[in-house]
Structure 1
Amino acid sequence: MSNITINQLHMALCEANSILLTVHIRPDGDAIGSMLAFYEALIAQGKTVHMVVDDVIPEKFSFLKYIDYIHDVSYLETNAISVDMLMVLDASTYERIGRVGALCSAPIFNIDHHISNTKFADYLYLKSNFAATGEIITYLCKEWNWPITESMGTALYMAIATDCGFFKFSNTTAHTLEMASYCVAAGARPNVVSETIEAISADRLELTKQVMQTIGFYKHNTVATIELCPAVMAILGDDTDGFVDIIRNVDTVDIAILLKGESPNRTRISLRSKGTDVNAIAQQFGGGGHIRAAGCTIMKNIEEAKSELLEAIG
Structure 2
Amino acid sequence: MSKISINQLHMALSEANSILLTVHVHPDGDAIGSMLAFYEALLAQGKKVTMVVDDSIPEKFSFLSYVDCIKTVEQCQDLDPIDMLLVLDASTYERIGQVGALCSAPIFNIDHHISNTEFADGLYLKTDFAATGEIIADLCKKWNWPMTESMANALYMAIATDCGFFKFSNTTANTLEMAALCVAAGARPNQISETIEAVSAERLTLTKQVMQTIEFYKDSSVATIELNRDAMDILGDDTDGFVDIIRNVDTVDIAILLKAQNDSITRVSLRSKRTDVNAIASQFGGGGHVRASGCTINLPLPEAKMALIKVLP
With the shorter chain as reference, the TM-score category is over 0.9
Q: Offset of 1:24 from its aligned partner?
A: 0.3
**Which residue does 1:256 correspond to in 2?**
255
Structure 1: distance between partners of 2:81 and 2:240: 36
Q: Secondary structure, in 3 states, of the residue corresponding to 2:271?
A: strand
Q: Does residue 237 of the first structure (1) align with residue 247 of the second (2)?
A: no
Question: Which stretch shifts more, 286-295 or 228-237?
Answer: 228-237
Aligned equivalent of 1:168: 167
The aligned counterpart of 1:211 is 210
Amino acid at match of 2:157: M
Partner SS for 2:240: coil
Question: Does residue 122 of structure 2 align to residue 123 of structure 1?
Answer: yes
1:188 and 1:126 mapped to 2: Cα distance? Answer: 25
Amino acid in the other structure paired with 1:189: R
CA positional deviation for 1:166: 0.3
Partner-residue secondary structure (3-state), 1:53? coil
Q: CA deviation at 1:234?
A: 1.4
Q: Which residue number in structure 2 is paired with residue 113 of structure 1?
A: 112
Alignment of 1:1-314 (within 5 A): 1-77=1-77, 79-314=78-313
Distance 1:253 1:105 in 2: 46
Gaps of at least 5 residues in structure 2 are none
Q: What stretches of structure 1 of length at least 5 have no aligned partner?
A: none
Letter in 2 for 1:235: I
State the distance in 2 between where 1:169 and 1:81 align.
42
Count of residues in Structure 1 that have an aligned counterpart in Structure 2: 313
Per the TM alignment, residue 81 of structure 1 is displaced from its structure 2 partner at its CA by 2.3
Q: CA deviation at 1:80?
A: 3.1
SS in 2 for 1:101: helix
Distance 2:179 2:249 in 1: 27
SS at match of 1:256: strand
- Residues of 2 paired with 1:236 and 1:153: CA distance? 28
Cα deviation code 1:157-178 (max 9, x no counterpart) = 0000000000000000000000
Distance 1:166 1:148 in 2: 21
Once superposed, what is the RMSD of the aligned Cα atoms?
Answer: 0.7
Question: After the TM superposition, which of the residue ranges 293-302 and 133-142 deviates more from structure 2?
Answer: 293-302
In 2, Cα distance between equivalents of 1:274 and 1:128 = 18
The secondary structure found in structure 2 opposite 1:257 is strand
Structure 1 position 155, deviation (Å): 0.2
Task: Give runs of ≥4 in structure 1 deviating > 4 Å.
Answer: none
CA–CA distance in structure 2, aligned partners of residues 251 and 40 of structure 1: 42
**Matches of 1:266 and 1:136, distance apart in 2:** 33
Task: Measure the CA separation in 1 of the matches of 2:265 and 2:99.
Answer: 24
TM-score by length of 1: 0.99
Q: Distance in 1 between matches of 2:306 and 2:57?
A: 33
Measured after TM superposition, the shift of residue 300 of structure 1 is: 1.1
Offset at 1:264?
1.6
TM-score in terms of structure 2 length? 0.99
* Residues in 2 aligned to 1:48 and 1:208: alpha-carbon distance in whole angstroms: 43
What one-letter code is carried by the residue in structure 1 that aligns with 2:6? Answer: I
SS in structure 2 at match of 1:307:
helix
The CA distance in 2 between the partners of 1:155 and 1:86, in whole Å, is 21
By how many angstroms is 1:18 displaced?
1.0
Measured in 1, the distance between the counterparts of 2:73 and 2:262 equals 24
